[in-house]
Structure 1
Amino acid sequence: MSQPREIAAGATYLITRRVLRRHLLFRPDAAITQLLIYALAVSTRRHGIEVHALCAMSSHLHVIVTDTQGVLPRFLQFFHRIVALGTKVLRQWEGPVWDHEATSVVRLLTRAAVVEKIAYVLANPVAAGLVRHAREWPGAKVDVGELGHGVLRAVRPTVYLDPENPQWPEEVALPLALPPAVERDSAESFRRDVAAELERQEAQAHAEMQRQGLHVLGAERASKISPYERATSFESLRDRNPTFAVGREQDSAWRIAAATVRAFRASYRAALERWRAGVRSAVFPAGTWWMRTFHGACVTDAVLTT
Structure 2
Amino acid sequence: MSQPRQIVPGATYLLTRRVLRRHFLLRPDAAINQLLVYALSVSTRRYGVKVHAFCAMSTHLHLVVTDVQGVLPLFLQSFHRLVALGTKVLRKWEGPVWDHERTSMVRLLTQAAVVEKIAYVLANPVAAGLVRHAREWPGARVDVGEIGRGVLHATRPSAYLDPKNPQWIEQATLPIALPPAIEPENAEGFRHQVAAELERQEAQAHAEVKRRGGGFLGVERAGDVSPYDRATTFESLQERNPTIAVGREQGDAWRAAAAAVRTFRASYRAALERWIAGVRTAVFPVGTWWMRRFHGASVNDVVLAV
TM-score category by the smaller chain?
A: over 0.9
Which stretch of the first structure deviates more once superposed, 266-275 or 238-247? 238-247
Alignment correspondent of 2:126: 126
Identity of aligned residues (%): 76
One-letter code aligned to 1:256: A
2:166 maps to what in 1? 166
Partner of 2:256: 256
Partner of 2:272: 272
Superimposed CA distance per residue, residues 81-107 of structure 1 (whole angstroms, 9 cap, x where no aligned partner): 110010000000011000111110000
How far residue 238 of structure 1 moved from its aligned partner, in angstroms, is 4.1
Counterpart of 1:209 in structure 2 is: 209
Q: CA deviation at 1:236?
A: 1.4
Q: Deviations over 1:113-137 (max 9, x none)?
A: 0000000000000001100000000
TM-superposed CA distance for 1:240, in Å, is 4.0
Q: 2:61 matched to which residue of 1?
A: 61
Write the distance in 2 (CA, Å) between the matches of 1:6 and 1:259.
14
Q: Residue 150 in 1 paired to residue 150 in 2?
A: yes
Matched, 1:290 2:290: yes
Matched residues in 1 for 2:264 and 2:305: separation?
9
Aligned residue for 2:222? Answer: 222
Opposite residue 268 of structure 1, the aligned amino acid is Y
CA offsets 1:239-264 (integer angstroms, 9 cap, x no match): 34110100000000000100000001
CA deviations on 1:34-69 (whole Å, 9 max, x unpaired) are: 000000000000001000000000000001100000
Find the residue that maps to 1:98 and give its secondary structure: coil
Report if the CA contact (8 A) 2:150-2:176 is conserved. Answer: yes
In structure 1, stretches of 5+ residues that fail to align are none
Q: Which residue of 2 aligns with 1:95?
A: 95
In structure 1, C-alpha distance between the alignment counterparts of 2:226 and 2:282, rounded to whole Å: 53
Three-state SS of the structure 2 residue aligned to 1:293 is helix
CA distance in 2, matches of 1:57, 1:7: 26
Counterpart of 1:111 in structure 2 is 111
Q: How far, CA to CA, are the matches of 2:10 and 2:113 in structure 1?
A: 16
Deviation at 1:305, TM superposition (A): 5.1
Amino acid at match of 2:267: S
Q: SS at the partner of 1:197? A: helix
Unaligned residue ranges in structure 2 (runs of 5+): none
CA contact (8 A) 1:14 1:117 kept: yes
Q: Is the 8 A contact 2:18 2:99 kept in 1?
A: yes
What residue in structure 2 maps to residue 49 of structure 1? 49
Distance 2:240 2:133 in 1: 28
Q: TM-score, normalised by structure 2?
A: 0.98
| Contact 2:104 2:240 (8 Å CA) reproduced | no
Question: 2: distance between equivalents of 1:304 and 1:259?
Answer: 12
| Residue matched to 1:281 | 281
- Classify 1:54/1:240 alpha carbon distance in 2 versus 1 (closer, same or farther; 3 Å): closer
Q: Normalising by the residue count of structure 1, what TM-score does the alignment of the two structures yield?
A: 0.98
Counterpart-to-counterpart distance in 2, 1:5 and 1:99:
19
C-alpha deviation, 1:225, in angstroms = 1.1
Does 2:238 match 1:235?
A: no
Distance, in Å, in 2 between the alignment partners of 1:284 and 1:211 is 50
RMSD in angstroms over aligned alpha carbons? 0.9
Q: How far apart, in 2, do the equivalents of 1:105 and 1:269 lie?
A: 20
CA contact (8 A) 1:285 1:304 kept: no
Give yes or no for contact 1:7–1:70 (8 Å, CA) kept in 2.
yes
Determine the C-alpha separation between the residues in 2 that align with 1:30 and 1:305.
43
